[in-house]
Amino acid sequence: MGAKSSEEQDTILQLVMNGLSNNLKPLSLLGAGFALGILVKTLFRGEDDPIIPSPRETQLPYLSPSEKAKLPYPPDALPGARDIPSPYGSLRVYEWGPEHGRRVLMVHGISTPSIALAAIAHGLVRGGCRVLLFDLPGRGYSSTPSPTVHSQTSEFFIATIFFVLASSSLSWTGPNSFSILGYSLGGGIAVNFASCFPNLISSVILLAPSGLIRLYHFGWQSKFLYSSSLLPDWAVEQLVNWKLSNNSRPDRGQSGTAFEDELPLTEQCGDELACGPKFDIPMALKWQVQRHKGFVKSNISSLRHAPISGQHDQWIRMTNALSNRDTKDDQQTTTSHASRGATVLIMCGENDPVIMAKELETDSKKLLGGTENLLFVITPGAGHDFPITHSKEVVDTITKFWEHQSHQV
């Protein structure tokens, strides 16, 4: 049987939306969703395109230079832009800074593209670093490989990172080649990358990282939408799209609403650090919802498969991998591992409603072996968006962290 008409789909979706907005009891909604899922799965058939193009292909060719400049995420938002081909489609990459400076790979969060880390990147470049940023698949100007074919798992993101590294004219491989900095979901990705390839990493910097979020922080609506197979994917996509499109600033405070918690309360990139052409991070989220056909699909796939919670084994693996690497290095030098200082820096906002600072501090110190391997810093008065709103403090803390490492070696 063919696909359901858009009118029928709208009717079904409106029933579910009304249930969500009226806060029906979870059990009642679950039962309705079960019946609805069976009905729709029987009647509906459809497949994603193998590669879903980004606004770079679907919007930019039809805009004048002045119209491009007015986008909340203009294509020249950051220096050193390039678009690279990959098995996952086109990937947007930015690279700039002194060629011989300390190299830093930066991985953004689940919803905001590279511009979320713009102020930190500019600050690090001012300090002599070479930075490499990219839009994760399905965000910003990067294409989306069909999530039905390529679930957005840790392995998926690690492969993406290697595509990005290989695109540089400079070498980003070899012993202690670069520091990896991850924000939110990017933090969870960074941990998984470092656990697999510790020899490439000189230090790990995690800003409100995912991976250790305790499950009770996920609300029942989020669990139903993102963890359940009762609703078909198209219905979940429409529900999430509807939710994001019909709220100027949705409610914050649950881990399942990380879409919005990455957004700053102000529209500027933070502090006095230069950020290049003006862009609007809150509006960039809406722009992605409206213009990037793979954005919602990608976020749903990430929430289902990416390293968001339950990653304790990977954190331990990262610690052991970095420690074993340092032990081998120590055998060739007169430096003892204990005198090297911490390899991992974690920063978290005091008032973060997604990544609870005290919980993360307790869990990370237990998994990473205490302060010998870890420096944990809480930013007073900050929320989940502190890499944007408190970027100067972040840059200063990173710089001091590196200086301490250098003095210990």
* Tokens, residue 321: 């991998």
Q: Distance between CA atoms of 339 and 222, rounded to whole angstroms?
A: 44
Q: Are 285 and 261 in contact (CB under 8 A)?
A: no
Per-residue pLDDT of the chain (409 residues; tens, 9 = 90+): 444 455 555 554 554 455 445 544 444 444 444 444 444 444 444 566 799 999 999 999 999 999 999 999 999 999 999 999 999 999 999 999 999 999 999 999 999 999 999 999 999 999 999 999 999 999 999 999 999 999 999 999 999 999 999 999 999 999 999 999 999 999 999 999 999 999 999 999 999 999 999 988 887 777 777 766 677 888 888 888 888 777 544 444 455 455 556 666 544 444 444 444 578 898 999 999 999 999 999 999 999 999 999 999 999 999 999 988 766 655 555 444 444 557 999 999 999 999 999 999 999 999 998 888 899 999 999 999 999 999 999 999 999 999 988 766 5
* CA 408 vs CA 224, 340, 400: distances in Å: 49, 5, 12
Torsions phi, psi for 86 (to 5 deg): -155, 165
Q: What are phi and psi of 264, to 5 degrees?
A: -75, 155
Q: Are 261 and 252 in contact (CB under 8 A)?
A: yes
- Backbone φ, ψ for residue 344 (5° rounding): -115, 130
What is the 3-state composition of the chain as percent helix, strand, coil, each rounded to the nearest 5? 50, 10, 40
Q: What tokens does 203 get?
A: 């230090």
383: left (phi over 0), alpha (psi -120 to 50) or beta: beta
Q: Which pLDDT score is estimated for 251?
A: 44
Strand partners, 92: 83
SS3 sequence of 169-217: CCCCCCCCCEEEEEECHHHHHHHHHHHHCHHHEEEEEEECCCCCCCHHH
